[in-house]
Chains A and B, each alone.
Chain A
Amino acid sequence: MNEKIKAARDIITNYSGRPLRIMEVCGTHTHEIFKIGLRKLLPENVELISGPGCPVCVTPVGFIDEACWLALEKGCVITTFGDLIRVPGTEMSLAGARAKGAQVRPVYSPMDAVEMARQNPDEQIVFLAVGFETTTPSACLAAETAKKEGLENFSLLTANKTMPNAYAALEGSADAFLYPGHVNAITGTGICEELKAKGVSGVVAGFTASELLTAMAVILKNAESGEPFFVNCYPRVVKAEGNPAAQKLVAKVMEPCDSEWRGLGVIPMSGMKLKDEYAEYDARKKYAMPKITGKPNPACRCGDVLQGKCKPSDCKVFGRGCTPEHPVGACMVSDEGACSAYYQYGME
Chain B
Amino acid sequence: MCVGLSAKVVSVKDGTALIDAQGAKREVSADLLEELEPGDYVMVHAGVAIAKITQSDEDETVDIMENLI
A interface with B by C-beta (< 8 Å): 2, 4-5, 7-8, 11, 26-28, 53-55, 81, 108-112, 131-132, 134-135, 137-138, 141, 180-183, 185-186, 206-208, 210-211, 213-214, 217-218, 221, 233-239, 243, 245-246, 249, 336
Decide if A206 touches B57 in the complex (CB within 8 Å): yes
The DSSP consensus for interface residues of chain A is: helix
Decide if A218 touches B68 in the complex (CB within 8 Å): yes
Contact for A211 among B31, B32, B61, CB less than 8 A: B61
Decide if B34 touches A245 in the complex (CB within 8 Å): yes
Known A111-B29, A141-B31; contact A26-B2, beta-carbon cutoff 8 A:
yes
Please indicate the chain A residues that have their CB under 8 angstroms from the CB of B54 in the complex.
Answer: 236
User: How many Å lie between the Cα of A132 and that of B50 in the bound state?
Assistant: 13
Decide if A180 touches B46 in the complex (CB within 8 Å): no
24 pairs, CB–CB < 8 Å, chain A vs chain B: A2-B58, A53-B1, A81-B46, A131-B2, A134-B1, A134-B2, A141-B29, A180-B1, A182-B1, A182-B43, A185-B4, A186-B50, A210-B58, A210-B61, A211-B57, A213-B61, A236-B55, A236-B57, A237-B51, A243-B32, A243-B33, A245-B34, A246-B32, A249-B31
User: How many Å lie between the Cα of A237 and that of B59 in the bound state?
Assistant: 13
Decide if A210 touches B57 in the complex (CB within 8 Å): yes
Decide if B29 touches A246 in the complex (CB within 8 Å): no
User: How many Å lie between the Cα of A183 and that of B29 in the bound state?
Assistant: 18
Since A53-B1, A138-B47 are in contact, a sample of 13 more A-B pairs with Cβ atoms closer than 8 Å, ordered by chain A residue number, is A26-B1, A131-B1, A131-B46, A134-B45, A135-B1, A180-B2, A206-B60, A213-B61, A214-B65, A221-B68, A239-B51, A243-B33, A243-B50
Whether a CB of chain A sits under 8 angstroms from the CB of B21 is no
Residue of B nearest to A55 (CB): B1
Decide if B1 touches A108 in the complex (CB within 8 Å): no
Decide if A138 touches B61 in the complex (CB within 8 Å): no
Give the Cβ gap from A283 to chain B, nearest Cβ, in Å.
Answer: 19
Give the Cβ gap from A286 to chain B, nearest Cβ, in Å.
Answer: 23
Residue of A nearest to B34 (CB): A245
B interface with A by C-beta (< 8 Å): 1-4, 26, 28-29, 31-34, 43, 45-48, 50-51, 53-62, 64-66, 68-69
Please indicate the chain B residues that have their CB under 8 angstroms from the CB of A217 in the complex.
Answer: 65, 68
Contact for B51 among A8, A132, A185, A207, CB less than 8 A: A185
- Interface hub of A2, A5, A81, A236 (most chain B Cβ within 10 A): A236
User: How many Å lie between the Cα of A137 and that of B43 in the bound state?
Assistant: 14
Give the Cβ gap from A77 to chain B, nearest Cβ, in Å.
Answer: 18
Decide if A141 touches B2 in the complex (CB within 8 Å): no
Residue of A nearest to B31 (CB): A141
Give the Cβ gap from B3 to chain A, nearest Cβ, in Å.
Answer: 5
Contact for A249 among B32, B59, B61, B69, CB less than 8 A: B32
- Interface hub of A131, A182, A218, A238 (most chain B Cβ within 10 A): A182
The 10 closest A-B pairs by CB, nearest first: A109-B47, A134-B2, A182-B2, A4-B65, A210-B61, A185-B51, A138-B46, A138-B48, A53-B1, A208-B57
Please indicate the chain A residues that have their CB under 8 angstroms from the CB of B45 in the complex.
Answer: 134-135, 138, 182
User: How many Å lie between the Cα of A318 and that of B1 in the bound state?
Assistant: 22
Please indicate the chain A residues that have their CB under 8 angstroms from the CB of B66 in the complex.
Answer: 4
Give the Cβ gap from B60 to chain A, nearest Cβ, in Å.
Answer: 5
Please indicate the chain B residues that have their CB under 8 angstroms from the CB of A131 in the complex.
Answer: 1-2, 46
Residue of A nearest to B64 (CB): A214
